[in-house]
């Protein structure tokens, strides 16, 4: 289990490097899918299958719509790929930075701290993620509504930024 979680965490870091280093929205969206999949695997490994399902449905369903709009409006005929020199230089720089940052905290990482949420309460009635979902809907309902409005505002900001001079989805006919 430890090697599988190490694989998922390494894939998460490499996916984040792929998103951060690529200027093209096409390949950044692919890196975002890898990051969301690895994040879901990490949540399942820690005992949160419902939260991983919520991440996969809402995050990929909502945020990839924004990527689709921005990719359609900012289409370039020859996008930069992961093998091109500037993107490869950024990727190497980000991986080296992540390796240096992790080497600082390397002595504080122990395998016994990778305990799933279900292993902490031996005779618990609830699973580790269901209590958090109930708390999110009972106490955090207002924050959920604010988050929905922020995502809608983000959609309009991205559409306005990628619109250009006189073309876009909100153009006058």
pLDDT category of residue 96 using cuts at 50, 70 and 90: very high
| Residue with the larger pLDDT of the pair 159 and 116 | 159
* Domain residue ranges of the chain, discontinuous segments joined by +: 2-161
pLDDT digits (tens, 9 = 90+) for 22-54: 777 777 777 888 888 898 888 888 777 777 887
pTM: 0.63
Among residues 36, 124, 38, 26, the alpha carbon closest in space to that of 75 is found at 26
> Distance between CA atoms of 160 and 38, rounded to whole angstroms?
31
Query: Which region holds residue 164: left if phi is over 0, alpha if psi is between -120 and 50, else beta?
Result: left
pLDDT category of residue 170 using cuts at 50, 70 and 90: low
pLDDT category of residue 84 using cuts at 50, 70 and 90: confident
Q: Are 16 and 28 in contact (CB under 8 A)?
A: no
Q: Are 98 and 13 in contact (CB under 8 A)?
A: yes
Mean pLDDT of the chain: 76
pLDDT category of residue 55 using cuts at 50, 70 and 90: confident
| Residue with the larger pLDDT of the pair 133 and 146 | 146
What is the reported pLDDT for 148? Answer: 84
The gap from C-alpha 129 to its chain's centroid, in whole angstroms, comes to 19
User: What Rg value do the Cα atoms of the chain yield, rounded?
Assistant: 20
> Distance between CA atoms of 32 and 34, rounded to whole angstroms?
5
Quickly name the fold that domain 2-161 has.
Answer: 1.20.120
> Distance between CA atoms of 32 and 22, rounded to whole angstroms?
11
What is the reported pLDDT for 173? Answer: 47
Evaluated on CA atoms 159, 161, 167, 172, the torsion sign reads positive
């Amino acid at each position: 289990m430890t090697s599988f979680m190490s694989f998922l965490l390494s894939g998460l870091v490499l996916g984040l490097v792929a998103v951060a280093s690529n200027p093209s929205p096409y390949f950044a969206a692919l890196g975002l899918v890898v990051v969301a999949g690895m994040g879901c695997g990490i949540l399942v490994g820690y005992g949160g299958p419902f939260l991983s399902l919520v991440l996969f449905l809402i995050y990929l369903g909502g945020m990839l719509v924004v990527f689709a709009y921005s990719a359609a409006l900012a289409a370039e005929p020859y996008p930069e790929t992961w093998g091109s020199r500037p993107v490869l230089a950024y990727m190497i720089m980000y991986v080296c930075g992540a390796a240096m940052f992790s080497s600082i905290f390397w002595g504080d990482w122990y395998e016994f701290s990778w305990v799933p949420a279900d292993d902490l309460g031996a005779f618990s009635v609830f699973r580790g993620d269901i209590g958090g979902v109930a708390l999110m809907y009972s106490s955090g309902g207002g924050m959920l509504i604010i988050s929905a409005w922020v995502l809608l505002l983000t959609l309009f900001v991205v559409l306005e930024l990628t619109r250009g001079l006189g073309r876009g989805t909100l153009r006058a006919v």
